[in-house]
Structure 1
Amino acid sequence: MTAPRFVDPSLLTDTADGPALLGSRCSDCGAHTFPRQGGCPRCTGAAMEDVPLSRTGTLWSWTTQGFRPKPPYTGTEAYEPYAVGYVELPDQLLVETRLAETDPDRLEIGMPVELALVPFRGDDQGSVHTYAFVRRTS
């Protein structure tokens, strides 16, 4: 079995608990960023280090993407609306993300969520995945 391919492999890293988003942390002030950055937006310092971000968080806010995004969007040909939101990663930052759940009745602000890898599109080499957050069950 071949490993899944990702839309942008530089956004993820492997950890003992599974894949995690790869962010940056400022060594001067402790601010986190995602995606990784070479400079700190809080203190303008340049001492940034790569860090895996928390795999779990809480849903801070969300909405539904009801129309096909503008190019260069390369998702599936049969477009279906999906949920997007902000997830608060504890003691780190808010991450804008796709949500795996698309039923608005099953989404609620404050619900616990965790990182998942989900299919994004297919091509002649197979499936391409992206990240999303799903309701945490434990």
Structure 2
Amino acid sequence: MKRRHIAPDLFEETSAGPRLVGGRNKTDGRVVFPLPGGSERELYERMLLGSKGTLWGWTVQRFRPGSPPYAGAGKDDFRPFVVGFLSIPDEVIVEGYIEAEPDTLRVGQPMELTTRVFSTNADGTEVTIYAFRPTI
């Protein structure tokens, strides 16, 4: 099965698991995610962010977002999902899909980065996104 990431330079697979691609400002050291593009890119040093953090907050997306930019499940196939913010220590707060039921989550809960299939193209290629899940 072929796979591709939903966007280039957003995350990458490493021998230790998936890692988000961020940037550290060359002048003030501020960390950002995602890594800026265009002319702003030269202001940042590319870096792989930590893969563990704590849940900062979350909500449930109960309606299908507008298209574009949303390109996920169709109107009849949409299922509510949890989206939240993960604080990666000493780096940045990142928004992403949370692989958990909302009633099992709590602020400060340890989480880890993972990936999941977002959609499958007509040619069978699976499109993957990054996500977070509670650590065991």
TM-score, normalising length from structure 1?
0.86
**Which whole-Å CA distance do the structure 2 matches of 1:125 and 1:108 have between them?**
40
Partners of 2:48 and 2:119 in 1: how far apart?
25
Q: Displacement of 1:114 after TM fit?
A: 0.6
**Aligned residue among 67, 71, 75 for 1:74:** 71
**Aligned twin of 1:113:** 111
* Amino-acid identity (%): 37
Q: Which residue of 1 aligns with 2:53?
A: 57
The alignment's C-alpha RMSD in Å is 1.7
TM-score by length of 2: 0.87
| CA deviation profile, 1:5-45 (whole Å, cap 9, x unmatched) | 111132013434122000000122211000112649xxxxx
Any gaps of 5 or more consecutive residues in structure 2? none
Gaps of at least 5 residues in structure 1 are 41-45
- Superimposed CA distance per residue, residues 27-84 of structure 1 (whole angstroms, 9 cap, x where no aligned partner): 22211000112649xxxxx641000001110000000001000111111221000011
- Corresponding residue of 1:43: none
Structure 2 counterpart SS, 1:125: coil
> Deviating runs (4+, > 3 A) in structure 1?
none
**Could you tell me which amino acid in structure 2 is paired with residue 75 of structure 1?**
G
3-state SS of paired residue (1:120): strand
Give the AA of the match of 1:59.
L
